[in-house]
């Protein structure tokens, strides 16, 4: 039987890590960060993430901020760079990605980020900002379950921004969020390079 490839949503990737360093631009400056096999977009800053980082409004300067599906950390690192007075949470199921994200935060001297698995986030925490390049490829049911768990945890005046490729169902995802009984409203903030940024607020 042939070996099955790792997915970035695998908790414990079986492939050799093979760490590497890449240069990416975060918060307007180039930084050198570490990635590895078995995580999402290990060779570059994913184009959708780049669209989110340049197109989303500034995050809340205070409170709890969430990077949902943090991977090796570019979104969470940017949140911490832009909002040094806030507490940032980076959440992922991939433990290799979490280890990389912690190393990258240490490399940048960022001490206001906690990278953790989903169950380790305090249940009563509410988020002033949620940014996510959600894992579309986990499948619709798993994606919906993920958003159902986290989007309702927006603070009363909180806002979420999600980046989704147009051809991978951004419009249908927007409609699905609006059909849920969460007291949230999802609108399209912008479109760029085949991606849409969706904005979610309380009604």
Q: What CA–CA distance (Å, rounded) separates 73 from 76? A: 5
What is the pLDDT at residue 117?
A: 97
Q: How many CB atoms lie within 10 A of CB 110?
A: 17
Instruction: Locate 181 and state its tokens.
Output: 């009984």
Per-residue pLDDT tens for 147-195? 999 999 999 999 999 999 999 889 999 999 999 999 999 999 999 989 9
Q: Look at residue 12 and give its three-state secondary structure.
A: coil
Residues of the chain with pLDDT under 70: 1-16
Q: What share of the chain is helix, strand, coil (3-state, %, to 5)?
A: 30, 30, 35
Q: State the virtual CA torsion across 47, 21, 110, 106 in degrees, nearest 10.
A: 150
What is the pLDDT at residue 102?
A: 98
What is the pLDDT at residue 16?
A: 60
What is the pLDDT at residue 3?
A: 33
Model pTM score: 0.91
């Amino acid at each position: 039987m042939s070996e099955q490839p790792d997915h970035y949503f695998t908790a414990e990737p079986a492939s050799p890590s093979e760490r590497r360093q890449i240069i990416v631009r975060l918060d307007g400056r180039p930084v050198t960060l570490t990635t590895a096999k078995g995580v999402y977009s290990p060779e570059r800053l994913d184009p959708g993430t780049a669209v989110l980082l340049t197109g989303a409004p500034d995050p809340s300067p205070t409170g709890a901020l969430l990077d949902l599906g943090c991977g090796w950390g570019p979104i969470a690192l940017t949140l911490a760079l832009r909002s040094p007075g806030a507490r940032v949470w980076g959440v992922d199921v991939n433990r290799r990605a979490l280890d990389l994200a912690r190393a990258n935060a240490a490399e940048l001297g960022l001490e206001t980020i906690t990278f953790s698995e989903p169950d380790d986030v305090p249940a009563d925490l509410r988020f002033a900002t949620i940014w996510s390049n959600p894992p579309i490829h986990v499948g619709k049911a798993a994606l919906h379950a993920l958003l159902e768990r986290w989007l309702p945890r927006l603070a009363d005046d909180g806002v979420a921004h999600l980046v989704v490729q147009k051809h991978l169902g951004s419009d249908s995802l927007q409609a699905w969020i609006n059909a849920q009984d969460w007291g949230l409203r999802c609108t399209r903030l912008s479109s760029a390079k085949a991606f849409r940024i969706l904005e979610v607020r309380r009604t």
